[in-house]
Amino acid sequence: MTQPEVSAGPSGPPNALTRATNNFLAAIVASSDDAIISKDLNGIICSWNEGARRIFGYESEEIIGQSILRLIPPDLQHEEDFILGRIRAGERVDHFETTRMRKDGERFPISVTVSPIKDDTGKVVGASKIARDISERRHEEESLYRLAAIVDSADDAIISKDLNGIIQTWNKGAQRLFGYEPEEIIGQSILRLIPEDLRHEEDEILRKLRASEKIEHHETTRVGKNGDLREVSITISPILNRNGQVIGASKIARDVSDRKKVEQLAIEVEKIATTGRMAAAIAHEINNPLASVLNLIYLSRQEGVSREEIQAFLATAETELERVSHIARQTLGYYRDTGAPAEAYLHDLIENVLCVYRNKMLAHGIELEATFNDLRRISVRSGEIVQVFSNVISNAIDAMPQGGKLCISTAQTVITGRESLRVIVSDTGHGIRREHVSRVFEPFFTTKGNLGTGIGLWVARQLVVRHGGQISISSSTEPGDSGTLVTIDLPFGRQEGEAIQAEAPESGKEN
Protein backbone atom coordinates (compact mmCIF):
# COMPACT_ATOMS: atom_id res chain seq x y z
CA MET A 1 0.00 0.00 0.00
CA THR A 2 1.24 3.41 -0.79
CA GLN A 3 1.11 5.84 2.08
CA PRO A 4 -0.55 9.06 0.97
CA GLU A 5 1.22 11.89 2.70
CA VAL A 6 -0.98 14.18 4.62
CA SER A 7 0.06 17.79 4.77
CA ALA A 8 -1.55 20.79 6.44
CA GLY A 9 -3.30 21.71 3.23
CA PRO A 10 -3.02 21.57 -0.49
CA SER A 11 0.33 22.86 -1.64
CA GLY A 12 0.80 26.00 -3.74
CA PRO A 13 -0.65 29.43 -3.27
CA PRO A 14 -4.32 29.62 -2.18
CA ASN A 15 -6.85 29.92 -4.96
CA ALA A 16 -10.55 29.06 -5.44
CA LEU A 17 -9.84 25.39 -5.90
CA THR A 18 -7.66 25.09 -2.86
CA ARG A 19 -10.25 26.96 -0.78
CA ALA A 20 -12.98 24.56 -1.95
CA THR A 21 -10.74 21.62 -1.19
CA ASN A 22 -10.07 23.02 2.28
CA ASN A 23 -13.81 23.38 2.93
CA PHE A 24 -14.36 19.87 1.68
CA LEU A 25 -11.70 18.43 3.98
CA ALA A 26 -13.07 20.44 6.91
CA ALA A 27 -16.54 19.02 6.25
CA ILE A 28 -15.19 15.46 6.24
CA VAL A 29 -13.27 16.03 9.47
CA ALA A 30 -16.27 17.58 11.17
CA SER A 31 -18.69 14.84 10.18
CA SER A 32 -16.41 11.87 10.84
CA ASP A 33 -17.45 9.38 13.51
CA ASP A 34 -13.77 8.90 14.31
CA ALA A 35 -11.80 11.32 16.45
CA ILE A 36 -9.48 13.39 14.24
CA ILE A 37 -6.91 15.33 16.19
CA SER A 38 -3.76 17.15 15.18
CA LYS A 39 -0.83 17.88 17.43
CA ASP A 40 2.59 19.46 17.13
CA LEU A 41 5.86 17.71 17.65
CA ASN A 42 5.74 18.47 21.38
CA GLY A 43 2.48 16.65 21.65
CA ILE A 44 0.37 19.77 22.08
CA ILE A 45 -3.14 19.40 20.65
CA CYS A 46 -3.84 21.86 17.79
CA SER A 47 -7.24 20.74 16.45
CA TRP A 48 -10.12 18.69 17.82
CA ASN A 49 -13.11 17.54 15.80
CA GLU A 50 -16.69 16.63 16.78
CA GLY A 51 -15.80 12.90 16.79
CA ALA A 52 -13.00 13.57 19.30
CA ARG A 53 -15.44 15.41 21.54
CA ARG A 54 -17.89 12.52 21.42
CA ILE A 55 -15.27 9.84 22.08
CA PHE A 56 -13.07 11.58 24.70
CA GLY A 57 -15.64 13.93 26.23
CA TYR A 58 -13.55 17.14 26.08
CA GLU A 59 -14.84 20.31 24.40
CA SER A 60 -12.34 21.72 21.90
CA GLU A 61 -11.88 24.88 23.99
CA GLU A 62 -10.71 22.96 27.01
CA ILE A 63 -8.34 20.60 25.23
CA ILE A 64 -6.72 22.60 22.40
CA GLY A 65 -3.35 23.75 23.67
CA GLN A 66 -3.17 20.89 26.18
CA SER A 67 -0.79 17.97 25.99
CA ILE A 68 -1.94 14.81 24.23
CA LEU A 69 -0.80 13.00 27.39
CA ARG A 70 -4.14 14.00 28.96
CA LEU A 71 -5.69 11.29 26.78
CA ILE A 72 -3.14 8.60 27.63
CA PRO A 73 -3.36 6.56 30.82
CA PRO A 74 -0.30 7.18 33.07
CA ASP A 75 1.01 3.63 32.68
CA LEU A 76 0.95 3.93 28.86
CA GLN A 77 2.55 7.39 28.47
CA HIS A 78 5.78 5.84 27.17
CA GLU A 79 3.78 5.02 24.01
CA GLU A 80 3.75 8.71 23.14
CA ASP A 81 7.59 8.82 22.97
CA PHE A 82 7.47 5.89 20.55
CA ILE A 83 4.75 7.48 18.43
CA LEU A 84 6.49 10.88 18.31
CA GLY A 85 9.76 9.13 17.42
CA ARG A 86 8.10 7.51 14.41
CA ILE A 87 6.42 10.79 13.38
CA ARG A 88 9.69 12.78 13.56
CA ALA A 89 11.19 10.18 11.29
CA GLY A 90 8.36 10.87 8.86
CA GLU A 91 6.75 7.47 9.42
CA ARG A 92 3.14 6.64 9.98
CA VAL A 93 1.66 4.48 12.76
CA ASP A 94 -1.17 2.38 11.41
CA HIS A 95 -4.09 0.87 13.36
CA PHE A 96 -2.25 0.83 16.62
CA GLU A 97 -4.59 -0.76 19.15
CA THR A 98 -4.18 0.54 22.64
CA THR A 99 -6.08 2.02 25.55
CA ARG A 100 -6.96 5.67 26.07
CA MET A 101 -8.80 7.59 28.72
CA ARG A 102 -11.99 9.63 28.52
CA LYS A 103 -12.47 12.88 30.37
CA ASP A 104 -14.28 11.07 33.18
CA GLY A 105 -11.25 8.73 33.61
CA GLU A 106 -12.86 5.71 31.92
CA ARG A 107 -10.31 3.62 29.98
CA PHE A 108 -11.41 2.18 26.65
CA PRO A 109 -9.86 0.32 23.75
CA ILE A 110 -8.99 2.38 20.71
CA SER A 111 -7.44 1.93 17.30
CA VAL A 112 -5.17 4.85 16.31
CA THR A 113 -3.59 5.84 13.03
CA VAL A 114 -1.05 8.63 13.35
CA SER A 115 0.48 10.34 10.30
CA PRO A 116 3.14 13.06 10.11
CA ILE A 117 2.04 16.56 8.96
CA LYS A 118 4.60 18.22 6.76
CA ASP A 119 4.96 21.86 5.76
CA ASP A 120 5.52 23.02 2.20
CA THR A 121 9.22 22.22 2.48
CA GLY A 122 8.48 18.63 3.55
CA LYS A 123 9.56 19.16 7.12
CA VAL A 124 7.50 17.34 9.73
CA VAL A 125 5.70 19.91 11.85
CA GLY A 126 3.14 17.83 13.65
CA ALA A 127 0.89 14.79 13.49
CA SER A 128 -2.68 13.98 12.60
CA LYS A 129 -4.28 11.31 14.65
CA ILE A 130 -7.38 9.39 13.69
CA ALA A 131 -8.75 7.38 16.59
CA ARG A 132 -11.61 4.91 16.54
CA ASP A 133 -13.39 3.74 19.66
CA ILE A 134 -13.32 -0.05 19.37
CA SER A 135 -14.96 -0.96 22.71
CA GLU A 136 -18.07 -2.08 20.83
CA ARG A 137 -16.02 -4.15 18.38
CA ARG A 138 -13.93 -5.62 21.20
CA HIS A 139 -17.10 -6.53 22.99
CA GLU A 140 -18.48 -8.27 19.93
CA GLU A 141 -15.19 -10.06 19.33
CA GLU A 142 -15.09 -11.22 22.92
CA SER A 143 -18.61 -12.59 22.76
CA LEU A 144 -17.75 -14.30 19.49
CA TYR A 145 -14.68 -15.91 21.06
CA ARG A 146 -16.72 -16.84 24.09
CA LEU A 147 -19.41 -18.40 21.91
CA ALA A 148 -16.80 -20.20 19.85
CA ALA A 149 -15.23 -21.59 23.03
CA ILE A 150 -18.62 -22.72 24.31
CA VAL A 151 -19.48 -24.33 20.99
CA ASP A 152 -16.14 -26.10 20.84
CA SER A 153 -16.17 -27.33 24.41
CA ALA A 154 -19.73 -28.69 24.15
CA ASP A 155 -20.10 -32.45 24.23
CA ASP A 156 -22.90 -32.20 21.72
CA ALA A 157 -22.30 -31.94 18.01
CA ILE A 158 -23.09 -28.37 16.90
CA ILE A 159 -23.34 -27.85 13.18
CA SER A 160 -24.63 -25.03 11.05
CA LYS A 161 -25.85 -25.38 7.50
CA ASP A 162 -27.36 -23.14 4.86
CA LEU A 163 -30.80 -23.58 3.36
CA ASN A 164 -29.43 -25.92 0.72
CA GLY A 165 -28.23 -28.23 3.47
CA ILE A 166 -24.55 -27.37 2.95
CA ILE A 167 -22.53 -27.62 6.15
CA GLN A 168 -21.00 -24.27 7.19
CA THR A 169 -19.52 -24.91 10.63
CA TRP A 170 -18.49 -28.03 12.50
CA ASN A 171 -17.47 -28.12 16.16
CA LYS A 172 -15.26 -30.58 18.06
CA GLY A 173 -18.35 -32.40 19.37
CA ALA A 174 -19.43 -33.01 15.77
CA GLN A 175 -15.93 -34.26 15.00
CA ARG A 176 -16.15 -36.72 17.92
CA LEU A 177 -19.68 -37.89 17.12
CA PHE A 178 -19.38 -38.31 13.37
CA GLY A 179 -15.62 -38.72 12.89
CA TYR A 180 -15.14 -36.08 10.16
CA GLU A 181 -12.49 -33.33 10.46
CA PRO A 182 -13.94 -29.84 9.79
CA GLU A 183 -11.86 -29.54 6.58
CA GLU A 184 -13.37 -32.63 5.03
CA ILE A 185 -17.01 -31.95 5.83
CA ILE A 186 -17.49 -28.16 5.66
CA GLY A 187 -18.96 -27.37 2.25
CA GLN A 188 -20.43 -30.86 1.96
CA SER A 189 -24.12 -31.72 2.08
CA ILE A 190 -25.68 -32.60 5.41
CA LEU A 191 -27.07 -35.70 3.63
CA ARG A 192 -23.68 -37.33 4.22
CA LEU A 193 -24.76 -37.72 7.86
CA ILE A 194 -28.22 -39.13 7.13
CA PRO A 195 -28.68 -42.83 6.42
CA GLU A 196 -30.14 -43.46 2.97
CA ASP A 197 -33.48 -44.72 4.20
CA LEU A 198 -33.97 -41.60 6.33
CA ARG A 199 -33.08 -38.99 3.68
CA HIS A 200 -36.73 -37.98 3.41
CA GLU A 201 -36.35 -36.50 6.91
CA GLU A 202 -34.16 -33.72 5.51
CA ASP A 203 -36.94 -32.46 3.19
CA GLU A 204 -39.27 -32.22 6.15
CA ILE A 205 -36.57 -30.49 8.23
CA LEU A 206 -35.87 -27.92 5.50
CA ARG A 207 -39.60 -27.31 5.01
CA LYS A 208 -39.99 -26.57 8.72
CA LEU A 209 -36.89 -24.34 8.76
CA ARG A 210 -38.08 -22.23 5.84
CA ALA A 211 -41.26 -21.67 7.84
CA SER A 212 -39.03 -20.56 10.77
CA GLU A 213 -40.13 -23.56 12.83
CA LYS A 214 -37.88 -25.19 15.36
CA ILE A 215 -37.39 -28.95 15.64
CA GLU A 216 -36.81 -30.10 19.19
CA HIS A 217 -35.43 -33.39 20.49
CA HIS A 218 -36.22 -35.34 17.38
CA GLU A 219 -34.87 -38.85 17.98
CA THR A 220 -33.46 -40.45 14.89
CA THR A 221 -30.45 -42.23 13.45
CA ARG A 222 -27.43 -40.66 11.80
CA VAL A 223 -24.38 -42.20 10.19
CA GLY A 224 -20.73 -41.46 11.00
CA LYS A 225 -17.68 -41.38 8.73
CA ASN A 226 -16.93 -45.08 9.18
CA GLY A 227 -20.54 -46.05 8.47
CA ASP A 228 -21.53 -46.64 12.12
CA LEU A 229 -25.13 -45.77 12.88
CA ARG A 230 -25.66 -43.44 15.85
CA GLU A 231 -28.85 -42.91 17.79
CA VAL A 232 -29.16 -39.14 18.18
CA SER A 233 -31.55 -36.61 19.57
CA ILE A 234 -31.44 -33.49 17.39
CA THR A 235 -32.63 -29.94 17.90
CA ILE A 236 -32.64 -27.69 14.85
CA SER A 237 -33.24 -23.94 14.95
CA PRO A 238 -33.42 -21.51 12.06
CA ILE A 239 -30.63 -18.88 11.82
CA LEU A 240 -32.07 -15.47 10.97
CA ASN A 241 -30.27 -12.47 9.53
CA ARG A 242 -30.82 -8.90 10.77
CA ASN A 243 -33.93 -8.61 8.65
CA GLY A 244 -35.46 -11.73 10.11
CA GLN A 245 -34.93 -13.83 7.02
CA VAL A 246 -33.98 -17.48 7.45
CA ILE A 247 -30.48 -17.96 6.07
CA GLY A 248 -29.62 -21.34 7.50
CA ALA A 249 -29.94 -23.62 10.47
CA SER A 250 -28.05 -24.60 13.56
CA LYS A 251 -28.25 -28.19 14.49
CA ILE A 252 -27.40 -29.69 17.87
CA ALA A 253 -27.09 -33.47 17.91
CA ARG A 254 -26.73 -35.45 21.09
CA ASP A 255 -25.55 -39.04 21.07
CA VAL A 256 -28.26 -41.07 22.79
CA SER A 257 -26.87 -44.47 21.78
CA ASP A 258 -25.97 -45.26 25.39
CA ARG A 259 -29.38 -44.28 26.66
CA LYS A 260 -31.02 -46.33 23.90
CA LYS A 261 -28.84 -49.29 24.83
CA VAL A 262 -29.87 -49.02 28.48
CA GLU A 263 -33.52 -48.78 27.43
CA GLN A 264 -33.16 -51.80 25.18
CA LEU A 265 -31.49 -53.67 28.03
CA ALA A 266 -34.33 -52.80 30.39
CA ILE A 267 -36.82 -54.11 27.81
CA GLU A 268 -34.83 -57.35 27.58
CA VAL A 269 -34.73 -57.65 31.37
CA GLU A 270 -38.47 -57.19 31.59
CA LYS A 271 -38.95 -59.78 28.85
CA ILE A 272 -37.00 -62.22 31.01
CA ALA A 273 -39.01 -61.23 34.10
CA THR A 274 -42.31 -61.73 32.21
CA THR A 275 -41.05 -65.04 30.89
CA GLY A 276 -40.09 -66.01 34.44
CA ARG A 277 -43.52 -65.10 35.80
CA MET A 278 -45.25 -66.99 33.03
CA ALA A 279 -42.89 -69.94 33.37
CA ALA A 280 -43.70 -70.22 37.09
CA ALA A 281 -47.42 -70.26 36.31
CA ILE A 282 -46.90 -72.70 33.44
CA ALA A 283 -44.76 -74.99 35.61
CA HIS A 284 -47.60 -75.21 38.13
CA GLU A 285 -50.11 -75.97 35.40
CA ILE A 286 -47.94 -78.70 33.88
CA ASN A 287 -46.33 -80.32 36.91
CA ASN A 288 -49.57 -81.03 38.76
CA PRO A 289 -51.18 -83.06 35.97
CA LEU A 290 -47.86 -84.81 35.28
CA ALA A 291 -47.63 -85.84 38.94
CA SER A 292 -51.20 -87.18 38.75
CA VAL A 293 -50.41 -89.13 35.57
CA LEU A 294 -47.36 -90.73 37.22
CA ASN A 295 -49.55 -91.74 40.16
CA LEU A 296 -52.30 -93.15 37.91
CA ILE A 297 -49.88 -95.24 35.86
CA TYR A 298 -48.25 -96.53 39.02
CA LEU A 299 -51.63 -97.48 40.44
CA SER A 300 -52.63 -99.24 37.19
CA ARG A 301 -49.58 -101.46 37.43
CA GLN A 302 -50.31 -102.64 40.98
CA GLU A 303 -51.46 -106.19 41.66
CA GLY A 304 -55.09 -106.92 42.38
CA VAL A 305 -56.41 -103.98 40.38
CA SER A 306 -59.44 -104.85 38.24
CA ARG A 307 -59.61 -104.23 34.52
CA GLU A 308 -62.37 -101.63 35.10
CA GLU A 309 -60.21 -99.80 37.62
CA ILE A 310 -57.27 -99.77 35.18
CA GLN A 311 -59.60 -98.37 32.49
CA ALA A 312 -60.69 -95.59 34.83
CA PHE A 313 -57.10 -94.74 35.83
CA LEU A 314 -55.90 -94.58 32.23
CA ALA A 315 -58.86 -92.53 31.06
CA THR A 316 -58.11 -90.03 33.81
CA ALA A 317 -54.42 -90.03 32.88
CA GLU A 318 -55.39 -89.30 29.28
CA THR A 319 -57.50 -86.33 30.34
CA GLU A 320 -54.63 -85.00 32.42
CA LEU A 321 -52.19 -85.33 29.52
CA GLU A 322 -54.62 -83.46 27.27
CA ARG A 323 -54.62 -80.71 29.84
CA VAL A 324 -50.81 -80.55 29.69
CA SER A 325 -50.80 -80.46 25.89
CA HIS A 326 -53.40 -77.73 25.85
CA ILE A 327 -51.31 -75.53 28.13
CA ALA A 328 -48.14 -76.25 26.17
CA ARG A 329 -49.82 -75.35 22.89
CA GLN A 330 -51.29 -72.15 24.28
CA THR A 331 -48.24 -70.85 26.06
CA LEU A 332 -45.01 -72.26 24.77
CA GLY A 333 -45.89 -71.23 21.23
CA TYR A 334 -45.02 -67.65 21.89
CA TYR A 335 -41.45 -68.42 22.84
CA ARG A 336 -40.93 -69.45 19.22
CA ASP A 337 -41.99 -65.97 18.14
CA THR A 338 -39.50 -64.71 15.58
CA GLY A 339 -40.34 -61.07 16.16
CA ALA A 340 -41.72 -60.52 12.66
CA PRO A 341 -45.26 -59.14 12.61
CA ALA A 342 -47.89 -61.68 11.67
CA GLU A 343 -51.66 -61.69 11.36
CA ALA A 344 -53.42 -62.92 14.47
CA TYR A 345 -56.72 -62.59 16.28
CA LEU A 346 -56.09 -60.45 19.33
CA HIS A 347 -58.57 -62.47 21.40
CA ASP A 348 -56.49 -65.62 20.75
CA LEU A 349 -53.43 -63.92 22.19
CA ILE A 350 -55.40 -62.70 25.20
CA GLU A 351 -56.83 -66.23 25.71
CA ASN A 352 -53.28 -67.56 25.78
CA VAL A 353 -52.40 -65.18 28.59
CA LEU A 354 -55.61 -66.00 30.48
CA CYS A 355 -54.85 -69.69 30.12
CA VAL A 356 -51.62 -69.18 32.04
CA TYR A 357 -53.21 -67.14 34.82
CA ARG A 358 -56.54 -69.02 35.02
CA ASN A 359 -55.46 -71.11 37.99
CA LYS A 360 -54.17 -68.10 39.89
CA MET A 361 -57.48 -66.34 39.24
CA LEU A 362 -59.43 -69.36 40.53
CA ALA A 363 -57.22 -69.50 43.60
CA HIS A 364 -57.88 -65.83 44.36
CA GLY A 365 -61.60 -66.04 43.65
CA ILE A 366 -61.45 -63.73 40.64
CA GLU A 367 -64.37 -63.83 38.24
CA LEU A 368 -63.66 -63.27 34.55
CA GLU A 369 -65.91 -61.49 32.07
CA ALA A 370 -64.54 -61.44 28.55
CA THR A 371 -66.31 -59.86 25.57
CA PHE A 372 -64.39 -60.26 22.36
CA ASN A 373 -65.62 -58.34 19.32
CA ASP A 374 -62.49 -58.32 17.20
CA LEU A 375 -63.69 -59.98 14.04
CA ARG A 376 -60.59 -59.13 12.02
CA ARG A 377 -57.04 -60.29 12.36
CA ILE A 378 -54.46 -57.69 13.33
CA SER A 379 -50.85 -57.53 12.27
CA VAL A 380 -48.72 -57.73 15.42
CA ARG A 381 -45.57 -59.25 16.88
CA SER A 382 -47.50 -61.74 18.98
CA GLY A 383 -44.71 -62.31 21.52
CA GLU A 384 -44.71 -58.60 22.36
CA ILE A 385 -48.49 -58.37 22.54
CA VAL A 386 -48.64 -61.45 24.80
CA GLN A 387 -46.10 -59.67 27.01
CA VAL A 388 -48.22 -56.49 27.12
CA PHE A 389 -51.37 -58.38 28.15
CA SER A 390 -49.46 -60.62 30.53
CA ASN A 391 -48.21 -57.50 32.34
CA VAL A 392 -51.59 -55.77 32.39
CA ILE A 393 -53.56 -58.89 33.42
CA SER A 394 -51.10 -59.96 36.12
CA ASN A 395 -51.25 -56.40 37.53
CA ALA A 396 -55.05 -56.71 37.63
CA ILE A 397 -54.80 -60.07 39.43
CA ASP A 398 -52.26 -58.70 41.91
CA ALA A 399 -54.66 -55.83 42.66
CA MET A 400 -57.40 -58.30 43.75
CA PRO A 401 -55.86 -60.58 46.43
CA GLN A 402 -59.31 -60.92 48.06
CA GLY A 403 -61.08 -61.68 44.79
CA GLY A 404 -63.04 -59.48 42.43
CA LYS A 405 -63.96 -59.21 38.79
CA LEU A 406 -61.66 -58.95 35.78
CA CYS A 407 -63.35 -57.60 32.64
CA ILE A 408 -61.70 -57.74 29.25
CA SER A 409 -63.30 -56.45 26.09
CA THR A 410 -62.09 -55.89 22.55
CA ALA A 411 -63.87 -53.80 19.93
CA GLN A 412 -63.08 -52.09 16.66
CA THR A 413 -62.70 -48.34 16.71
CA VAL A 414 -61.14 -45.49 14.75
CA ILE A 415 -58.32 -43.54 16.39
CA THR A 416 -57.14 -40.39 14.53
CA GLY A 417 -58.38 -41.75 11.24
CA ARG A 418 -56.84 -45.20 11.57
CA GLU A 419 -58.86 -48.34 12.06
CA SER A 420 -57.82 -49.77 15.39
CA LEU A 421 -58.69 -52.34 18.00
CA ARG A 422 -59.46 -51.11 21.46
CA VAL A 423 -58.89 -53.46 24.37
CA ILE A 424 -60.16 -52.51 27.80
CA VAL A 425 -58.90 -54.44 30.82
CA SER A 426 -60.59 -53.44 34.06
CA ASP A 427 -60.43 -54.85 37.57
CA THR A 428 -62.26 -54.22 40.84
CA GLY A 429 -59.00 -54.22 42.81
CA HIS A 430 -57.62 -51.74 45.32
CA GLY A 431 -56.81 -49.16 42.63
CA ILE A 432 -53.80 -46.89 42.23
CA ARG A 433 -53.47 -43.77 44.36
CA ARG A 434 -54.03 -40.52 42.49
CA GLU A 435 -50.44 -39.34 42.92
CA HIS A 436 -49.17 -42.66 41.54
CA VAL A 437 -51.36 -42.92 38.45
CA SER A 438 -49.32 -40.38 36.51
CA ARG A 439 -46.12 -42.27 37.31
CA VAL A 440 -47.06 -45.86 36.47
CA PHE A 441 -45.48 -45.67 33.02
CA GLU A 442 -42.16 -44.42 34.41
CA PRO A 443 -39.39 -46.98 34.47
CA PHE A 444 -38.60 -48.47 37.89
CA PHE A 445 -41.74 -47.07 39.48
CA THR A 446 -43.61 -49.74 41.42
CA THR A 447 -46.29 -49.87 44.08
CA LYS A 448 -45.56 -53.53 44.77
CA GLY A 449 -42.41 -53.12 46.88
CA ASN A 450 -39.85 -55.85 46.31
CA LEU A 451 -42.29 -57.95 44.31
CA GLY A 452 -42.43 -55.59 41.33
CA THR A 453 -39.70 -54.88 38.81
CA GLY A 454 -41.23 -51.44 38.23
CA ILE A 455 -40.85 -51.68 34.47
CA GLY A 456 -43.82 -53.85 33.49
CA LEU A 457 -46.09 -51.02 32.37
CA TRP A 458 -43.19 -48.99 31.04
CA VAL A 459 -42.27 -51.89 28.76
CA ALA A 460 -45.93 -52.45 27.90
CA ARG A 461 -46.10 -48.86 26.69
CA GLN A 462 -42.88 -49.18 24.70
CA LEU A 463 -44.23 -52.27 22.97
CA VAL A 464 -47.65 -50.72 22.30
CA VAL A 465 -46.03 -47.56 20.89
CA ARG A 466 -43.77 -49.74 18.75
CA HIS A 467 -46.98 -51.10 17.23
CA GLY A 468 -48.19 -47.56 16.55
CA GLY A 469 -50.74 -47.79 19.34
CA GLN A 470 -51.34 -46.15 22.68
CA ILE A 471 -52.02 -47.22 26.24
CA SER A 472 -53.68 -45.23 29.00
CA ILE A 473 -54.73 -45.95 32.54
CA SER A 474 -57.32 -44.59 34.95
CA SER A 475 -57.93 -45.70 38.48
CA SER A 476 -60.03 -45.12 41.56
CA THR A 477 -59.25 -45.92 45.19
CA GLU A 478 -62.75 -44.90 46.32
CA PRO A 479 -63.79 -47.54 48.92
CA GLY A 480 -66.53 -49.73 47.47
CA ASP A 481 -65.93 -48.47 43.95
CA SER A 482 -62.20 -48.96 43.52
CA GLY A 483 -60.49 -50.44 40.51
CA THR A 484 -58.25 -49.78 37.56
CA LEU A 485 -59.07 -49.50 33.87
CA VAL A 486 -56.41 -49.90 31.21
CA THR A 487 -57.19 -48.94 27.62
CA ILE A 488 -54.98 -50.19 24.80
CA ASP A 489 -55.49 -49.09 21.19
CA LEU A 490 -53.67 -50.96 18.44
CA PRO A 491 -54.02 -49.97 14.78
CA PHE A 492 -54.74 -52.71 12.23
CA GLY A 493 -51.90 -53.53 9.89
CA ARG A 494 -49.60 -50.53 10.42
CA GLN A 495 -46.66 -52.90 10.00
CA GLU A 496 -47.99 -54.04 6.63
CA GLY A 497 -48.15 -50.51 5.23
CA GLU A 498 -44.67 -49.74 6.48
CA ALA A 499 -43.20 -52.88 5.05
CA ILE A 500 -44.66 -52.09 1.65
CA GLN A 501 -43.30 -48.54 1.72
CA ALA A 502 -39.87 -49.65 2.76
CA GLU A 503 -39.60 -52.46 0.26
CA ALA A 504 -41.12 -50.93 -2.84
CA PRO A 505 -38.14 -48.76 -3.94
CA GLU A 506 -35.73 -51.65 -3.32
CA SER A 507 -37.60 -54.06 -5.58
CA GLY A 508 -37.99 -51.28 -8.13
CA LYS A 509 -34.21 -50.86 -8.36
CA GLU A 510 -33.59 -54.56 -8.76
CA ASN A 511 -35.95 -54.91 -11.67
Partner 1 sequence: MAFPGAMIQFADSFSGGRSDPLRSAGEAENVSARLPRVLVVDDERLLADTTAAILRRSGFHAKTAYDGFSALEMTANFHPDYLLTDIMMPGMNGVELAIAITKMYPSAKILLFSGQAGIADILEQSRAQGYEFPLLAKPVHPLKLVEGIRNLGNR
- Among residue numbers 241 through 280, which ones bind partner 1 (CB under 8 A)? 276-277, 279-280
In the complex with partner 1, which residue's Cβ is closer, 124 or 312?
Answer: 312
In terms of C-beta density within 10 A (0-12 exposed, 13-18 middle, 19 or more buried), how is residue 74 classed? Answer: exposed
What is the DSSP annotation of 425-465? EEE-SS---HHHHTTTTSTT--SSGGG--S-HHHHHHHHHH
362 lines the binding site for partner 1 (CB under 8 A): yes
* Host H or E run for residue 343: strand 342-344
State the minimum distance, in angstroms, from the CB of residue 502 to partner 1. Answer: 41
Task: Give the H or E element holding residue 348.
Answer: helix 346-363
We find the least distance from the C-beta atom of residue 202 to partner 1, in angstroms, to be 52
* Shortest Cβ 343–partner 1 spacing (Å): 25
User: In this complex, which beta carbon is closest to partner 1, that of residue 73 or of residue 452?
Assistant: 452
Q: How far is the CB of 387 from partner 1 (least distance, A)?
A: 18
x/- track of binding to partner 1 for residues 337-356 (CB under 8 A): ------------------x-
DSSP-derived secondary structure for 155-210: SSEEEEEETT-BEEEE-HHHHHHH---HHHHTTSBGGGGS-GGGTHHHHHHHHHHH
Nearer to partner 1, 330 or 420 (CB): 330
Q: Which of 214, 284, 293, 306 is nearest to 252 (CA)?
A: 214
Complex with partner 1: residue 146 or 301, whichever CB lies closer = 301
- Which uninterrupted H or E stretch holds 130? strand 124-133
Residue 401, interface with partner 1 (CB under 8 A)?
A: no
Residues in contact with partner 1, shown as a per-residue x/- string from 451 to 490 under the rule CB under 8 A: ----------------------------------------
Instruction: Give CA separation, 455 vs 87, 107, 294, 335, 447, in Å.
Output: 81, 63, 40, 20, 11
Partners of 421 in the β-ladder: 412, 490
Among 98, 316, 476, 487, binds partner 1 (CB under 8 A): 316
Give the residue with the Cβ less far from partner 1, 211 or 451. 451
Which of 286, 342 has the CB closer to partner 1? Answer: 286
Amino acid at the residue 478 = E
- The residue among 166 and 324 lying less far from partner 1, judged by its C-beta, is 324
Least spacing, CB of residue 410 vs partner 1, in Å:
19
The 3-class secondary structure across 252-276, one letter per residue, is EEEECHHHHHHHHHHHHHHHHHHHH
Q: Is 323 in the site for partner 1 (CB under 8 A)?
A: yes
Q: Cβ 353 to partner 1, closest distance in Å? A: 13
Cα–Cα dist 411/23, whole Å: 94
Q: In this complex, which beta carbon is closest to partner 1, that of residue 303 or of residue 506?
A: 303
Q: How far apart are CA 379 and CA 122, in angstroms?
A: 97
Q: Tell how strand 229-240 and strand 215-223 pair up.
A: antiparallel
78, 98 contact by CB (below 8 A): no
Radius of gyration of the chain (CA): 42
CB atoms within 10 A of CB 176: 13
Binding mask 15-44 for partner 1 (x = CB under 8 A): ------------------------------
Among 33, 94, 268, 309, binds partner 1 (CB under 8 A): 309
Q: Identify the H or E element spanning 313.
A: helix 307-332
**Total residues at the site for partner 1 (CB under 8 A)?**
38
Using the contact rule CB under 8 A, the part of the chain among 82-90, 314-322, 335-343, 416-424 near partner 1 is: 314-322
Residue 389 sits in the site that holds partner 1 (CB under 8 A): no
Among 358, 377, 418, 436, binds partner 1 (CB under 8 A): 358
CB of 368 to partner 1, least distance (A): 11
| Residue/partner pairs of 369-372 with CB below 8 Å, 24 or more apart | 369/405, 369/406, 369/407, 369/408, 370/407, 370/408, 370/409, 371/407, 371/408, 371/409, 371/410, 372/346, 372/347, 372/408, 372/409, 372/410
Q: Is 359 in the site for partner 1 (CB under 8 A)?
A: yes
Nearer to partner 1 among residue 20 and residue 362 (C-beta): 362
Distance, CA of 482 to CA of 475 (rounded, Å): 7
Residues 278-307 as x/- pattern, contact with partner 1 by CB under 8 A: -xx--xx-xxxxxxxxxxx-xx--x--xx-
Using CB under 8 A, which of the segments 77-85, 196-204, 340-348, 357-365 binds partner 1?
357-365
Contacting positions for partner 1 (CB under 8 A): 276-277, 279-280, 283-284, 286-296, 298-299, 302, 305-306, 309, 312-313, 316, 319-320, 322-323, 326, 355, 358-359, 362-365
